[in-house]
């Protein structure tokens, strides 16, 4: 069975986040995840999660100064105090709403990103999150969507995780990003599945509904499940049609949503 999580950073954005959680439940998703929920009191989000019974798979750390084009702080040398402040904020928020993971955003190479800084901040994040039973995720992003992003390959992600050495630090395997980084999704998954903590998906190359494009998700997601991935699959796409008909690809045999 393919269990689906709605990424509310892209889906149901025409309404406040608590209402988006309710909409995800109504659409048939079995979990939610989001980007930056910090404009909302965590009690509001927790109430919506409790009302629907949906778990929150994860949230992101803040990106920094958007006017300067920042896209994360954790790898930026000289910005350690700010990086740890947003990590602390994210972990505390995640703990308050019962989120399973925090995605720690690395930042851009041109803003002073360094491996040693990233490693040190991830050790801090993993220890802090581990005290709450929360996982830390890092995500390789492709240069088309995230120019100059420090973490731009799954091989680098693996090397960083092995250096940090924390059991709750894993890879966010976004099929869309991995397809744009070179494809070979099954082989890449198999080489790194021991470190994969969450899987996301969207059509490639347009990042829209996952019912067209270069990747056959009706085949791929069940295949990843058969290969040992036991988590949810995060639908992180930018809606074009607004239809949820693509979810029919993953319906159970009895016709009920598999999410």
Residues acting as catalytic residues: 139, 236
Nearest by Cα to 195 from 163, 158, 152 = 158
Distance CA 181, CA 189 (A): 13
Q: Could you give phi then psi for residue 148, rounded to 5 degrees?
A: 70, 10
Distance CA 105, CA 108 (A): 10
Distance CA 68, CA 163 (A): 30
Q: What are 113's strand-pairing partners?
A: 76
Distance CA 164, CA 41 (A): 32
Cα four-point dihedral sign 32, 33, 35, 37 = positive
């Amino acid at each position: 069975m393919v269990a689906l999580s709605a990424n509310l950073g892209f889906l149901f954005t025409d309404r406040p986040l608590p209402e988006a959680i309710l909409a995800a439940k109504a659409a048939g998703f079995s979990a939610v995840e989001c980007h930056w929920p910090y404009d909302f009191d965590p009690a509001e989000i927790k109430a919506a999660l409790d009302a629907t019974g949906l778990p929150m798979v994860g949230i992101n750390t803040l990106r920094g100064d958007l006017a300067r084009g920042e896209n994360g702080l954790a790898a930026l040398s000289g910005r350690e105090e700010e990086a740890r402040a947003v990590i602390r904020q994210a972990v505390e928020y995640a703990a308050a709403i019962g989120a399973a993971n925090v995605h720690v955003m690395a930042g851009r190479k041109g803003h002073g990103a360094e491996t040693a800084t990233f490693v040190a901040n991830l050790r801090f994040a993993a220890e802090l999150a581990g005290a709450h039973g929360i996982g830390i995720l890092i995500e390789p992003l492709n240069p088309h969507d995230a120019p100059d992003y420090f973490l731009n390959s799954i091989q680098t992600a693996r090397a960083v995780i092995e250096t940090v050495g924390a059991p709750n630090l894993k890879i966010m395997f976004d099929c869309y990003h991995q397809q744009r980084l070179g494809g070979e999704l099954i082989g890449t998954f198999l080489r790194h599945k021991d470190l994969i903590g969450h899987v996301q998906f969207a059509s490639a190359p347009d990042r829209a509904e996952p019912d067209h494009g270069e990747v056959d998700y009706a085949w791929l997601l069940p295949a990843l499940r058969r290969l040992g991935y036991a988590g949810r699959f995060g639908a992180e796409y930018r809606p074009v049609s607004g239809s949820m008909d693509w979810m029919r690809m993953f319906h159970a045999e009895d016709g009920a949503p598999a999410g």
